[in-house]
C-alpha cells in the first residue's frame, strides 16, 4: 500500500515596520508584492503614488495594515510603531501564540533607516509641521537607502 505524505504548507504573515509606517516599510511591502523593482531605483513619482506612502496619520500608529498576498500566498502588512521595534515584534508573536498560531508564522521585519541626516531632518520637519519639506526628505532618504531596503526584502 502506497502512502502519500502531505507536506504542511506554512503561510506567513510578514509585517514590515518602521517608525512612522509611511516610508521604508511601504517600500519594502511594495517590493515584496512586485509593485516596485528590487534591482533599480524607482522615480520620485512612482514612490509618491504608492498606497500609504506619506499618508498615515498619527492615530494609525500601531495598526497592522494589509497590503496584499505574495506569489506564495503569504500575507504582507505594514505598521508604524514609533521607537519600539523589539516590543512590537514580541507583542505580535505573543498575540499569535494566544490565537493558536505558531510563532514561526509571524515574521516581523524592521525596515528602519536610522543614522542618516535625511531621516533626522525629515522627522524634525514633520514635527515642525513642514510636511512638504519632510516629504521631500523622506523620498530622498528612501532613494538613498533603496538597496538596503531591497536587501531586507530579499532575505525574506
43-83 pLDDT, tens per residue? 988 888 888 877 777 788 889 999 999 999 999 999 998 88
5 occurs within a structural domain: no
pLDDT at 38 over 60: yes
Q: When comparing pLDDT for 108 and 132, which is higher?
A: 108
DSSP per residue over 4-47, as a string?
-PPPPPPPPEEEEEESSSSSHHHHHHHHHTTSS-SSSPPPHHHH
Domain that residue 116 falls in: 13-154
123 occurs within a structural domain: yes
Give the pTM: 0.85
The neighbouring-strand residues paired with 15 are: 77, 108
6 occurs within a structural domain: no
8 occurs within a structural domain: no
pLDDT at 142 over 70: yes
75 occurs within a structural domain: yes
The pair phi, psi for residue 63, each rounded to 5°, is: -80, 140
For the chain, what is the domain count? 1
Nearest Cα residue to 45 out of 143, 112, 123, 125: 143
Nearest Cα residue to 22 out of 71, 70, 61, 73: 61
1 occurs within a structural domain: no
113 occurs within a structural domain: yes
Beta strands 75-80 and 13-18, pairing class: parallel
Per-residue pLDDT at 54: 72
Nearest Cα residue to 23 out of 136, 117, 124: 136
3 occurs within a structural domain: no
Amino acid at each position: 500500500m502506497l502512502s502519500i505524505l502531505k507536506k504542511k504548507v506554512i503561510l506567513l504573515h510578514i509585517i514590515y515596520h518602521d517608525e512612522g509606517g509611511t516610508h521604508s516599510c511601504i517600500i519594502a511591502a511594495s517590493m515584496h508584492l512586485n509593485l516596485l523593482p528590487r534591482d533599480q531605483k524607482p522615480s520620485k513619482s512612482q514612490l509618491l503614488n504608492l498606497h500609504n506612502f506619506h499618508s498615515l496619520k498619527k492615530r494609525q500608529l500601531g495598526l497592522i495594515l494589509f497590503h496584499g498576498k505574495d506569489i506564495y500566498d503569504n500575507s504582507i502588512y505594514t505598521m508604524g510603531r514609533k521607537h519600539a521595534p523589539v516590543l512590537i515584534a514580541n507583542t505580535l508573536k505573543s498575540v499569535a501564540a494566544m490565537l493558536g498560531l505558531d510563532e514561526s508564522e509571524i515574521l516581523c521585519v524592521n525596515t528602519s533607516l536610522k543614522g542618516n541626516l535625511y531621516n533626522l531632518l525629515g522627522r524634525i520637519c514633520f514635527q515642525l509641521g513642514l510636511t512638504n519639506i519632510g516629504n521631500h526628505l523622506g523620498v530622498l532618504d528612501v532613494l538613498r537607502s533603496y538597496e538596503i531596503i531591497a536587501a531586507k526584502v530579499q532575505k525574506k
